[in-house]
Amino acid sequence: MHNAGVASYVLELHNVGKTFRSDSGVTVAALRNVDLTVHGGEFVTLLGATGCGKTTLLNIAAGITEPDEGYLCRGENVKLGESIAYVFQHYTLFPWRTTLSNVTFGLQMRGVSRRTRKSKARELLAKVGLAGFEKARPYELSGGMRQRAAIAQALAIEPSLLLMDEPFGAVDDSTRAELQQMLVELWEGRDMTILFVTHNIDEAILLGSRVVVLAERPGRIVRQFDVDLPRPRDRNRTRFTELFLDIRHSLSGGLD
């Protein structure tokens, strides 16, 4: 089980701000005065309404976007292009590649031998419930199956930090529950930190060891809440416990 309380940080943001400026002169302040420390082994959920800067924060963590204000520090084991993986809301699989070759892509770019990367990919596909679909192409898979493949693709490089931008937002409720459980099991079995964006309060609580609430634009942290619910968390039971409802009530106030 993860022990994030004593682990060193993997990510620190200090007074981070970001403003976007269009060619027509319109400016949008996406983030302002964001201070956040994410420790090794944590599962941190970023919760907030659409447009509050959650994705911008994730992109800054990934090195895709540079902040205008403040600065960011990454832990010594977190290196751009090597140990950070990103799973988007809409799958990013190559449509011309098979499921297996999509999962091996990152390993191939790192020069891993063909035999090793295929063996690792098959193992991951089995763990995400896609054994038997190695030769299928993305258009032959359901939305939930494509996201399973995308998660396997991200995990193949053994990231220290996994960034996830509402990865289950486009699937039905039943599939979302299955993917949530699968993700937690994969996280618990690895030395990995997850920063997970969502606008769903229940999802934030069920998944997270800590929930970070962002206010509407410009995005800024208004609440952080440690989730002390025991694991494994059965969503059909946990959601109706007194502790869950107390946490939910507290978080709902931060979204007003």
138: helix, strand or coil: helix
- Average pLDDT on 86-96 reads 88
**pLDDT tens digits, 20-70:** 988 888 899 999 999 999 999 999 999 998 888 999 999 999 999 999 999
230: helix, strand or coil: coil
DSSP string computed for 171-184: S-HHHHHHHHHHHH
Residue 2: which pLDDT band, with cuts at 50, 70 and 90? Answer: low
**pLDDT tens digits, 176-200:** 899 999 999 999 989 899 999 999 9
Share of the chain above pLDDT 70, in %: 96
**Residue type present at position 66:** E
Number of H helices, E strands in the chain: 8, 9
Fold of 4-83+161-254: Rossmann fold (3.40.50)
**Against a cut of 0.85, is the pTM above it?**
yes
Per-residue confidence (pLDDT) for residue 1, from 0 to 100: 46
Distances (CA, A) of 56 to 15, 29, 31, 206, 222: 14, 11, 8, 23, 17
191 alpha carbon, distance to own chain's centre: 15
66 alpha carbon, distance to own chain's centre: 19
Distances (CA, A) of 51 to 38, 55, 196: 22, 9, 16
CB 72 within 8 A of CB 22: no
Q: Which residues contact 64 (CB under 8 A, 6 or more apart)?
A: none
1 alpha carbon, distance to own chain's centre: 19
- CB burial of 3-31 (b: ≥16 within 10 Å; e: otherwise) equals ebeebebbbbbeebbbeeeeeeeeeeebb
Please state, in angstroms and rounded to a whole number, the distance separating the CA atoms of residues 103 and 153: 4
Per-residue confidence (pLDDT) for residue 255, from 0 to 100: 66
Residue 6: which pLDDT band, with cuts at 50, 70 and 90? Answer: very low
pLDDT > 90? residue 237: no
- The β-bridge partners of 190 are none
- Alpha-carbon dihedral of residues 145, 100, 180, 201, nearest 10 degrees? -80
Domain boundaries, the chain: 4-83+161-254, 90-158
Q: Which residues contact 221 (CB under 8 A, 6 or more apart)?
A: 34, 35, 36, 212, 213, 214, 215
Backbone angles phi, psi at 70, to 5 degrees: 70, -165
